[in-house]
Structure 1
């Protein structure tokens, strides 16, 4: 009797699961998510941006800016003559220097306060790794705002653009070698066939960032001809690119046609101007990862390094954009902080 009940239970459980899954699929099919469409190309070309109202509202809520302390002006003694060990902002007057420090606390360490980066018994002390990193990040912000205007324009960035009040930005990435796998002919090529959060849960390569946003991998794979003539890129390389493009789409909350023309994805002359902006953004991210973030690896404690490769946290599109096509919805915070638009000191001791 017990055996019969057990057999019946084993039979009914998968049936119940199957019915639940079927019901969920039917419910989703009968109640598709509501979307809003915004046409930004010729009719009939598919140049339409689709957005879910709930997702749009959530993105708007996550991209509000904090209040700003009024500008303190450019008069008065310089911070470098009043305080010790000021290597980046020494030419900023004391009032504005203090205002920026207060703002940075709100932008980066809303919960921890000044002690997140400073030894409060001796503010000149460099023993905390967070202070060394913050100094380098200040230089990075100045570099972006002064040398990468082809991507950030006059809007620029501040610490808050990425950090959103947190000591570590909510969106960073680490190199991902993936799960252990068999060797030889049984090996899974190109990191595929595993659910990839980077590529929207698909089985596309799960780490498209290392080859494209740290190394200088070739992103463009679309051929101008039906055959391979003149286009040496392989299908595997195309899959890496598609994984990266899916992440771009999610990071900016847009469709592919935000940067590409559906009539001809490869054509630059037919593409919207956003494609050129994105081209510069890709190169900016590579340069930031290579020159500013990777070199900080030796300054960071083990708990701040990547769990698999032990690398430093790096940036990608989501770090700044956070789900919208213009970070912080295009609000210009930099105009209130002119010291963040100057070129950073080039001498090595500023690090």
Structure 2
């Protein structure tokens, strides 16, 4: 029953039967794996997004299996057509008390937006999360901090959609709503607080790095990059490429070695936030040259400016409004946003789904446009 070569080999080597058995098993296993790959597909097959000239390595590879899986939060999006206002419709500010935003929206659309915000931010607590457990007559009171914060967040959302169109609608209409960050949670995931110094036994520059933290993306890079670049607005860049530069590194507009390390920390954070690599924005042959970047670099630059404004104009000023349990554990600072707060690991939040189309009330600081 066995092949002649095997019988001959077995006679000449009567004590060693493992060699051919292993060989036959390995060959059989390889054939089985090949059959499974042909039948079920390559589980680690990749697709590449080309971001530059061929042959330069400028591509962003992604697993096809992951590309085929939609962001699970997309299923939670609300599709609710707005009511087209008609002459004589009552406005929210004329019906309810203390309506400081969305007051010029009709009552029906106002209630529609409020119901959506409840599902986006507090699906379990309901209206009571911002208005308390009292009667409807008490909804105009600003007793709870959550209502004060929510009002400011509506203004921030309107500002983003109206004034940062180049970032949130770079390729097509996408926009942002409360759902973009909150995803059904009271507090969005991937917010951040100050964590430096991370080395209590050192001072100065050494106290900012060489400790694994979420802000350093679990690397030895500095942990204060988000603070310096997305709040303080310091220069993002690497040190001079000349070996003996006469640049004054004490000048805040000149990048030194420390700025270079922080820049690497920020870029590492951005890459992980969007699920991409460096060449998504930069040219591999000249990372330092702003004239050889990809179009995505411009979109990202607008995003950095947008986040700086979000933090300094909207989020940080709310520090005195929050209770202690909502503030940072080390410095008592207000929660802040960054790229991952919205993107959650995708190139576009919610994989580029148009989230603003049903919510014109959140698309502008002025009068909503209903189509």
Q: What is the TM-score with the length of structure 2 in the denominator?
A: 0.78
Shift of 1:65: 4.5
Paired position in structure 1 for 2:183: 164
Please say if residues 88 and 139 of structure 1, whose CA atoms lie closer than 8 Å, have aligned partners that are also in contact: yes
CA contact (8 A) 2:51 2:294 kept: no
1:284 paired residue among 302, 306, 309 = 306
Cα distance in 1 for partners of 2:159, 2:284 equals 35
Match of residue 308 from structure 1 = 330
Structure 2: unaligned runs, 5 residues or longer? 1-42, 250-254
Are 2:260 and 1:260 equivalent residues in the alignment? Answer: no
Q: How far does residue 53 in structure 1 lie from its aligned partner after superposition?
A: 5.1
TM-score normalized with structure 1 length: 0.82
Aligned residue in 1 for 2:219: 202
Whichever of the two has the greater Rg, that structure is 2
Structure 1 equivalent of residue 46 of structure 2: 36
Match of 2:105 in 1: 92
Task: Check 1:270–1:157 CA distance in 2 against 1; reply closer, same or farther (3 A cut).
Answer: same
Counterpart CA distance in 2 for 1:203 and 1:54 is 32
Any idea what SS the aligned residue of 1:67 has? coil
Contact 2:85 2:106 in 1 (8 A): yes
Greater mean deviation of Cα atoms: 45-54 or 214-223: 45-54
- Cα distance between partner residues in 2 of 1:203 and 1:59: 33
SS at match of 2:346: coil
Where in structure 1 are there 5+ consecutive unaligned residues? 1-32, 346-351
Question: Which residue of the partner structure matches residue 115 of structure 2?
Answer: 102
1:222 deviates by 5.6
Contact 1:79–1:89 (Cα < 8 Å) also in 2: yes
Q: Distance in 1 between matches of 2:263 and 2:69?
A: 28
1:142 equivalent in structure 2: 158
The root-mean-square deviation of aligned C-alpha atoms, in Å, is 2.3
Deviations 1:326-350 (A, max 9, x none): 11111112121111122269xxxxx
Report the alpha carbon displacement of residue 171 of structure 1 after superposing the two structures with TM. 1.5
Give the conservation status (yes or no) of the 8 Å contact 2:240–2:256.
Answer: no
Determine if contact 1:136/1:292 at 8 Å carries over to the other structure: yes
